[in-house]
Amino acid sequence: MSTTTVTPAGATRRTGGSAPSAQDDAGLPASLAGPRPRTGIPFGRLVHVELRKMLDTRAGRWLLIGIGVVIAGALTILFVQDGGEHPFGDYLQATTMPMAVLLPVVGILAVTSEWSQRTALVTFTLEARRVRVASAKVVAALLVGASAVATSFVLATATHAAAIAFRGATGDWTMPGTAFLGAGGYVLLGLLQGVGFGMLLRNTPAAVVAYFVLPTAWSVVGSLVSQVRTAAEWLDLNRTMEPLFTGSLSGEEWARLGTSVGLWVLLPLAAGMWWITRAEVK
């Protein structure tokens, strides 16, 4: 431990000539060894911190616990019901659905909490290049999503295998390849969309409500109002993703998927990032 030294002249200057107390001496932190950094913060470190921030609050942790409980419940029902006799796709749906529905909230909170809790003040002063912070949030969200998808695949596989081994289920592993893509995309795109909505609105309730209500409202309008039906076929993410779960996609279906992803995921992200780099942080 290095000891801090305060020159007596300095320490007594403001205390009316009285000797500095031990407390005054203890007032200074130890200096750090080595030269001050001349290079910026590595991007990996930013991602590490953003990941940690997603999980170190009560809100983030309970959200993950909640997702875990829902998945456990769903898997238990499948395992017990009908002697576990369900195709693998059902098991996969039981694990990915809760994640796809609830994980976007993690993405939303990752951004909105910076504003509602005002930690943006700290975040953007420790890394002043805001685009890097925003990008680190996107990457961290993708990492959370990727590990969630991997976990859901493993859990679904394990439970289905257990149903075959212990419950005597016949088992049905058939699934179109694009369904894996669909399940993964469902979770990852949802998370990104959450981050994008968070950046755009920077207010937790507004972002959560907009995230859950807008696409659904759009789906409803698209199915009811004939004038926008064609538009909905291109711009309703719920609808454009459907073919992924059933099997092969035509060129136009891919184009529709791309268009809707652009509208609901990329556009909010880009606009949100643009705003973040220019806004006053209060």
Which residues make up the interface to another protein (CB under 8 A)? 4, 6-7, 10-11, 13-15, 20, 23-24, 26-32, 36-41, 45-46, 48-49, 52-53, 56-59, 113, 117-122, 124-129, 278, 280-282
CA 30 remoteness from chain centre: 37
Residue 6 or 162: which CB sits closer to another protein? 6
Q: Do 113 and 63 meet the contact criterion of CB atoms below 8 Å apart?
A: no
| In the complex, minimum distance from the CB of residue 192 to another protein, in angstroms, rounded to a whole number | 23
Closest separation in Å from C-beta 86 to another protein:
39
Pick 53 or 86: Cβ nearer another protein: 53
Smallest gap, in angstroms, from Cβ of residue 125 to another protein?
5
Query: Diameter of the chain by CA atoms?
Result: 89
| Dihedral angle sign, alpha carbons of residues 196, 199, 201, 204 | positive
Nearer to another protein, 11 or 181 (CB): 11
**How far apart are the C-alpha atoms of 21 and 24, rounded to whole Å?**
5
Task: Name the nearest CA neighbour of 207 among 105, 62, 134.
Answer: 105
Nearer to another protein, 161 or 281 (CB): 281
Nearer of residues 52 and 167 to another protein, judged by Cβ: 52
Cβ at position 15, least distance to another protein in Å = 8
User: Measured between alpha carbons, how far is 270 from 273 in angstroms, rounded to an integer?
Assistant: 5
In whole angstroms, how close is the CB of 13 to another protein at the nearest point? 7
In whole angstroms, the minimum distance from the beta carbon of 198 to another protein comes to 15
Nearer to another protein, 13 or 167 (CB): 13
User: What's the min distance (Å) between Cβ of 54 and another protein?
Assistant: 12
Min dist CB 49 to another protein, Å, is 5
If DSSP states are collapsed to H, E and C, what string results for 196-222?
HHHHHHCCHHHHHHHHHHHHHHHHHHH
Q: How far apart are CA 88 and CA 171, in angstroms?
A: 7
- Asked if 159 contacts 218 with a C-beta cutoff of 8 angstroms, the reply is no
- Closest to another protein by CB, 37 or 251: 37
Long-range interactions of 53-62: CB distance < 8 A, separation 24+: 53/110, 54/106, 54/109, 54/110, 54/140, 54/141, 54/144, 57/109, 57/113, 59/109, 59/113, 60/106, 60/109
For residue 264, what are the contacts with CB-CB under 8 A and spacing of at least 6?
A: 189, 193, 196, 215, 235, 237
Closest CB to another protein among 8 and 247? Answer: 8
